[in-house]
Amino acid sequence: MSLNDIQRQLLREIADLETVPKGAYNIRANGESAGRSTTANIDIVTKTDKPGIDIIVKPGTKNESIHIPVIISQHGLKEMVYNDFIIGEDADVTIIAGCGIHNCGDQDSSHDGIHSFFVGKNARIRYVEKHYGDGDGIGGKIMNPTTVIELAEGAVMEMESTQIKGIDSTSRKTEAKLADGASLTVREKIMTHGEQLAETDFAIDMDGEDCACHLISRSVAKDKSRQIFRSNVKGNNRCTGHSECDAIIMDDALVSAIPEITASHVDASLIHEAAIGKIAGEQLMKLMTLGLTEKEAEEQIVNGFLK
Amino acid sequence: MLELKHVSYVVPAENDSTETKEILHDVSLTIDERFVAITGPNGGGKSTLARVIAGIAQPTSGEIWLDGQNITNLGITERARLGISFAFQQPVRFKGITVNDLINLAAGKKLSVAEACEYLSEVGLCARDYINREVNASLSGGELKRIEIATVLARGTKLSVFDEPEAGIDLWSFGNLINVFENMHERQGGSILIISHQERILNIADKIIVIADGNITAVGNKDEVLPELLRSSAACPTLLQKLS
């Protein structure tokens, strides 16, 4: 695998990778495959009808990981990728995705990805996704990830998505359908600055009996950035749904939270909590009485909030 | 030594009002003893005085001196760095910041887990259960109060100000709280200023200052101040009747 320094830096940011990862991986650099490895239980196959890959995890595969980072260092590159994850029954795996864009040119670079998860009965997956952009060109760094999730009976999925720095525009969509006893937890962390825009949109259908979902979104909006959070959690059976979005607003930012919960079953129990506010003056004061400057106090509060 | 010279603190009586209310009136005092207690009726100006010392509130007039340096115009951070610590009456909650983070920030350096745990054990918390918890709404008022005291211990400065440290600490015997203050003084010296209504805290004070209606109404040791305090008009008449 041959990557240049910029590409290596992106890989470090999004996947904490210094070298080739252990286990299965597929590294996509500037629209082309830059390395792939499969294992006895995990296969990665290039799609023939459209760009993207199928990741196939055999039933019963335990404690294996799959890295599928995407890095873009060529300015003006626009791509649309379809990745399907077929997770066999009773498997237990971790998937580390992520996308890093370095744009030092004057044309927009963008990565749009549709990740579809088909999680088999009683399988468990942890899906970690990190988005990062850098480069001092005026070209935009744009990412629009869509995640489509189908959880079979008793399947458990934990998803963590993080976008802390450098993405100018993002529209994130997450759709999920849950069967009997399935459980979905999503933790989202977003920080926007400058004139960035981040939109996030959840549509969760809790169709199965005793399924559960937790959506937890924490965000910080600085400078003139804008954030929009939308969620629609539907309880169509006996189930529990909980969503919360908690945002810190700073400077001249704009944050909007549009939560919706819909119950169509008498035993569906749904809760939404939403809060937007600036950093409390008391919090700054407390940390300043410990000897921190106001700026240091602000950083500690923001870092803690997004930890 | 901390010195307040003719400190007054005036606020508008109501929002947008031109009328003013004087919270502190011409307060002059020195704090050089091991333990100094400030007491007096609610709304008398005690907490404001503590906030003026910590730099959270700026006096309208008067001066504040610390060890011969005029600190009146210094902000919270600068005063903290010169050696003033302040334990809030109502501790602040933080989402995502752990007890360990807060104690490390207070100490101003990276502590080992064992070192951080020592401060928690000192205030009666089983350290292992707390060190990685977030300082958020999942902690009770009493737990937060003890963590607040632990942050002041971790700072180890020459002047520590506690605003009603006993409030909300129900199950913890006051004996332990007093031990904390005594150990603290033994270890780091300096002065400990405690705003309190508790007689047991007033009993260990080398000096008691009584503040009512923004004025210092009495200064002295407990034998001089306590009897007068109990007889003062501020005490509840019904209670006094019962006592007599």
Per residue in A36-60, pLDDT tens? Answer: 999 999 999 999 999 999 999 999 9
Spatial separation of the C-alpha atoms in residues B52 and B60, rounded to whole Å? 10
pLDDT of residue B235: 54
Residues A92-116 have pLDDT tens digits of 999 999 888 888 887 888 888 899 9
Average pLDDT taken over every residue of chain A: 92
Buried b (16+ CB within 10 A) or exposed e, B158-168: bbbbbbbbbbb
Q: How far is B134 from chain A (nearest CA, A)?
A: 9
Residues contacting B42, CB < 8 A, separation 6+: none
Smallest Cβ–Cβ distance between A288 and the set B80, B98, B155 belongs to B80
Q: Which carries the bigger pLDDT value, residue B96 or residue A266?
A: A266
**Cβ neighbour number for residue B22 with a 10 Å cutoff:** 16
Could you tell me if A162 and A129 are in contact, meaning their C-beta atoms sit under 8 angstroms apart?
yes
Whether the per-residue pLDDT at B97 is higher than 80: the answer is yes
pTM listed for this prediction: 0.83
Instruction: Tell me how far apart the alpha carbons of residues A111 and A41 are, in angstroms, rounded to a whole number.
Output: 29
DSSP string spanning B115-132? HHHHHHHHTT--HHHHTT
B-contacting residues in A 203-222 (Cβ below 8 Å): 218
Residue range A232-247: mean pLDDT, rounded: 96
Contact A282 B92 (CB under 8 A): yes
Compute CA B62 distance to the chain's CA centroid, rounded to the nearest angstrom: 21
B17, pLDDT greater than 80? no
Residue A61 pLDDT? 95
Spatial distance between the Cα atoms of A218 and A189, rounded to a whole number of angstroms: 5
Instruction: Measure CB to CB from residue A292 to each of B77, B94, B151 and give the nearest one.
Output: B77
CB B152 within 8 A of CB B181: no
pLDDT over 90 percentage in chain B: 59
Buried b (16+ CB within 10 A) or exposed e, A129-158: bbbbbbbebebbbbbbbbbbbbbbbbbbbb
Domain extents in chain B: 2-243
How far B140 CA lies from chain A's nearest CA (Å)? 18
Tell me if B92 and A283 make a contact (CB, 8 A cut-off). Answer: yes
Separation CA B93–CA B120 (nearest Å)? 17
Q: Element (H or E) spanning B9, and its range?
A: strand B2-12
Q: Report, as an integer, the average pLDDT of B212-234.
A: 82
- Asked if B28 and B9 count as a contact pair (C-beta separation under 8 A), the reply is no
Buried b (16+ CB within 10 A) or exposed e, A242-274: bbbbbbbbbeebebebebebebeeeebebebee
Q: What tokens were used for A50?
A: 């459209």
Residue A293 to residue B80: CA distance in whole angstroms: 10
Q: Cα separation of A219 and B70, whole Å?
A: 42
Do residues B178 and B204 lie in contact, with contact meaning Cβ atoms separated by under 8 Å? yes
Torsions phi, psi for A203 (to 5 deg): -135, 110
When the pLDDT of each residue in chain B is averaged and rounded to a whole number, the result is 88
CA dist A298 and A287 (Å) reads: 9
- The stretch A269-279 carries a mean pLDDT of 94
Mean pLDDT of B15-42: 90
Inter-chain touch B97–A294, beta carbons under 8 Å: no
Question: Distance (Å) from the C-alpha of residue A164 to the closest C-alpha of chain B?
Answer: 16
Q: What is the pLDDT of residue A167?
A: 85
Residue A18 in this model has a pLDDT that exceeds 80: no
A18-33 mean pLDDT: 83
pLDDT at A284: 96
pLDDT of residue A75: 81
Residues in chain B closer than 8 A to A246 (CB atoms): 95
CATH class of the B2-243 domain in this structure:
alpha beta
Instruction: State the residue for tokens 């001196």.
Output: B65
Cα Rg, chain B, nearest whole Å: 18
State the distance between the two ends of chain B, measured CA to CA, in whole angstroms. Answer: 41
Q: How crowded is residue B109: how many other Cβ atoms within 10 Å of its Cβ?
A: 9
Chain B residues whose CB is inside 8 A of the A282 CB are: 88, 92
pLDDT band for position A304 (cuts 50, 70, 90): very high
SS3 B195: strand
Residue A241 structure tokens? 């749904």
pLDDT of B126 over the 90 cut: no
pLDDT tens digits, one per residue of A191-239: 998 899 999 999 999 999 999 999 999 999 999 999 999 999 999 999 9
pLDDT given for residue A190 in this prediction: 94
B80/A294 CB distance under 8 A: no
Residue A100 has what pLDDT?
A: 84
Instruction: Tell me, yes or no, if A301 comes closer than 8 A to chain B by beta carbon.
Output: yes
How far apart (Å, rounded) are the C-alpha atoms in residues A292 and A298?
9
pLDDT of residue A35: 87
Q: Is the pLDDT of residue A77 over 90?
A: no
Q: What residues of B are in contact with residue A288 (Cβ under 8 Å)?
A: 75-77, 80
pLDDT (0 to 100) of residue B244: 52
Looking up tokens 């306590």 gives B226
Q: Which residue has the tokens 């650099």?
A: A29
Alpha-carbon distance A306 to A302, whole Å? 6
Among all chains, which residue has been given the structure tokens 């994130």?
A172
The encoded tokens of residue B241 equal 């009747």
Confidence of residue B26 (pLDDT cuts 50, 70, 90): very high
Do β-strands A124-134 and A92-102 pair in parallel, antiparallel, or remain unpaired? parallel
Q: How many CB atoms lie within 10 A of CB B32?
A: 12
User: B133 to chain A, minimum CA–CA distance in Å?
Assistant: 12
Q: How many percent of chain A have pLDDT more than 70?
A: 98
Task: Give the 3-state secondary structure of chain A.
Answer: CCCCHHHHHHHHHHHCCCCCCCCEEEEEECCEEEEEECCCCEEEEECCCCCEEEEEECCCCEEEEEEEEEEECCCCCEEEEEEEEEECCCCEEEEEEEEEEECCCCCCEEEEEEEEEEECCCCEEEEEEEEEEECCCCCCEEEEEEEEEEECCCCEEEEEEEEEECCCEEEEEEEEEECCCCEEEEEEEEEECCCCEEEEEEEEEECCCCEEEEEEEEEEECCCCEEEEEEEEEECCCEEEEEEEEEEECCCCEEEEEEEEEECCCCEEEEEEEEEECCCHHHHHHHHHCCCCHHHHHHHHHHHHCC
Q: What local confidence, expressed as pLDDT, does residue B173 receive?
A: 56
Tell me how many residue pairs between chain A and chain B have CB atoms under 8 A apart: 58
Sheet order of strands, A183-192 included? A32-37, A24-29, A62-72, A92-102, A124-134, A156-165, A183-192, A211-221, A239-249, A268-277
Which pLDDT band, with edges at 50, 70 and 90, does B191 fall under? very high
Give the CA distances from residue B12 to residues A175, A231, B9, B17, in Å, rounded to whole numbers and listed in that order. 54, 45, 10, 6
